[in-house]
A and B are shown apart, each in its own frame.
Chain A
Amino acid sequence: DGGITQSPKYLFRKEGQNVTLSCEQNLNHDAMYWYRQDPGQGLRLIYYSQIVNDFQKGDIAEGYSVSREKKESFPLTVTSAQKNPTAFYLCASRGRGDLIYSNQPQHFGDGTRLSIL
């Protein structure tokens, strides 16, 4: 079945450590997104990519980095500069609808929960 796979499900970060969250999709979608979800808040956009080898900062990119070397993969690195990394991280992708994306829904993975040790 087509879908988005995020791994690991749970991740623990030590102080001063960088950690990388994996996101793979086999939906042949061009656009991919990373969100952070905190209790009582809406999903907040960290980074997005609309094409291979290109990505843009979202609303809360500080302390995070991404790469898009392959269409299927969009890994997120949480760097030591992110001082409050504890959250639920969601990866999503979206297909092209007619001439624009915006009428297409986003397909989400099942998230990675990151905690500080």
Chain B
Amino acid sequence: SQKIEQNSEALNIQEGKTATLTCNYTNYSPAYLQWYRQDPGRGPVFLLLIRENEKEKRKERLKVTFDTTLKQSLFHITASQPADSATYLCALVRNNNDMRFGAGTRLTVKP
């Protein structure tokens, strides 16, 4: 069966460090992979999209990598700030009607 795993339920890091979140998948062949941020009691907000033929995508302090051989995406936040504290979700997209979300990793950045 299809499985999407995000490395851990929670990740705590110190302000200024780089946060690295992992999204692994099995039995699935995504055309795209998306990352979302979700704050408590709010809906997810789109951050970045990376295609299967792209290795890396950057946006300001965010960087996403996508390795279809390892079936893994890494999401990095450099120079992390307390305001980056949130839950981050990965979503795999195969086609119009097939989009699967991971359970999310709750990131806490401590000052």
Chain A residues proximal to chain B, CB less than 8 Å:
4, 6, 31, 35, 40-43, 45, 48, 50, 56, 90, 92, 100-103, 105-111, 113
Contacts and interface: CB of A to CB of B under 8 A. Distances in A.
Contacts of B49: 103, 105
Contacts, number: 60
Nearest to B96: A101
A42 B96 contact: no
B79 interface: no
A108 B44 CA distance: 6
Given A105-B34, A108-B45, A110-B42, A40 B94 contact: no
A107 B36 CA distance: 10
Contact of B96 (A41, A50, A90, A109): A50
Across the A-B interface, give the 8 residue pairs with the lowest CB-CB distance, nearest first.
A108-B43, A105-B46, A42-B101, A43-B101, A101-B96, A42-B103, A102-B93, A110-B43
A103 B51 contact: yes
B95 A102 contact: yes
A109 B43 contact: yes
A42 B102 CA distance: 5
B89 interface: yes
Contacts of A56: 97
Interface string B20-43: 000000000001101010000111
Interface string B72-111: 0000000000000000010101111101111110000000
